[in-house]
Amino acid sequence: MKASAFVYPWDVNGDPAAPGRLAALGVRGVTLASAYHSTRALTPRHPRHRVVTAAHAAVLYPPGERWRGRALRPYAAGDWAPGDAFGEAAGALVDAGLEVHTWVVLAHNSRLGAEHPDTSVVNAYGDRYPWAPCVAQPATRALLVDLAAEAAVRPGAAGTELESLGWYGLAHLHAHDKIGGITLGDAGQYLMSLCFCATCRTGYGTDADALAAAVREALEPVWRGAPSGGGWAAVEGLLGAERAALTRAWREPVARSLQEEAVAAVRAAAPDGFRVLLHADPVWYHVGANAGVDPGHVLGIADGVVLPCTGGPEPLAPFAERAAGDTVLAANLTVVSGMGGSPGTLAEDARRAAGLGATELRLYHAGLASDADLEAVRRGLAELG
């Protein structure tokens, strides 16, 4: 299977040895961030720095003229990725014989929510999630669709991988996070991720105040420690089947149409042969970086998906059932031991993924991994042949 590794431009720029080191792992490509959220990242091998702090979500290249005069627009990066950081890194990686895909983070932007609060998801209690743009709002959707096209189709890129192309919600890695004291479970996460902004309140097609009150009432046992359960049946058990169906009737088509519009915009901007993949989850109501999708629908519009498989290859099966001969099913495996990965079992994990239909591997994250982790990756890929 073809393997690609995730990297940031700051892993490469200023480190002349980085492209060759990546190629020596045995990967054939890299997924290189071109639009990314705020983060603090370790750079354990870089000759100039050890920690990079990206203060806000930004495009890692100069944003184009399409944004002139628009209130909602992507932010340029600061000194963590100056100028055309993506282009500089992509050129060095291509020169090393590696295929480059853009890595585009979409509905995840805390600065947007801070500067334009009305764009954010609002939960049933009236709390805003500034990191989570509401993907039902027309102006926000226009931003995300245009950003997808611009950030995906960059010079040197042969394809793109679109992350968080759908609903975002409560779950979010946050500074000094203090929300883990209550185990919300699958159903609780869904209810806490339902949006009640002005657009969504109208979209539900019912008394939004009554629906929000029902969500709050359904969550009361969860706040007292009762398990919420998993699966859509658990959502129906908490909220009631009729109200749960109302939320689904609004949220699922919103996400599907956004995915269609964004992929179409990328294809319109891209050359022939440019591959479009989505980071996805086969459970339609899951939110976050791996947005919930309908497998049959998303494989009808995109060339494939990137699926979280560190916890096991099970997410592959619903997509494999609907895959065509040229469909890309990329199993995303964490290879950073300190982040819960298991680089030493890479070959075994890859074979298990292939058994459920994986055609490619994605390795998260070559820039963050230790030397020992990277050596384990090299051995694992060599074993796979």
From the options 3.20.20.80, 2.40.280.10, 3.30.1490.20, 3.90.850.10, give the CATH code of 2-178+274-384. 3.20.20.80
Three-state SS at 270: coil
Cα separation, 152 vs 59, in Å, equals: 11
pLDDT score of 181 more than 80 = no
| Total Cβ atoms within 10 A of residue 2 | 13
For tokens 């230790």, the residue is 370
pLDDT tens digits, one per residue of 102-158: 999 999 999 999 999 999 999 999 999 999 999 999 999 999 999 999 999 999 999
pLDDT tens digits, one per residue of 345-383: 999 999 999 999 999 999 999 999 999 999 999 999 999
Dihedrals φ, ψ of 270, to 5°? Answer: -95, 155
Per-domain boundaries in the chain: 2-178+274-384
Percent of the chain with pLDDT over 70: 99
Give residues with Cβ within 8 angstroms of 34, minimum separation 6. Answer: 59, 60, 61, 86, 102, 103, 104, 151, 152, 154, 157
Cα separation, 38 vs 307, in Å, equals: 22
Cα separation, 161 vs 279, in Å, equals: 7
Instruction: Give yes or no for a contact between 329 and 299, defined as CB atoms under 8 angstroms apart.
Output: no
User: Where do the DSSP E strands lie in 48-89?
Assistant: 51-54, 58-59
Q: Residues 351, 354, 360, 362: is their CA dihedral positive or negative? A: negative
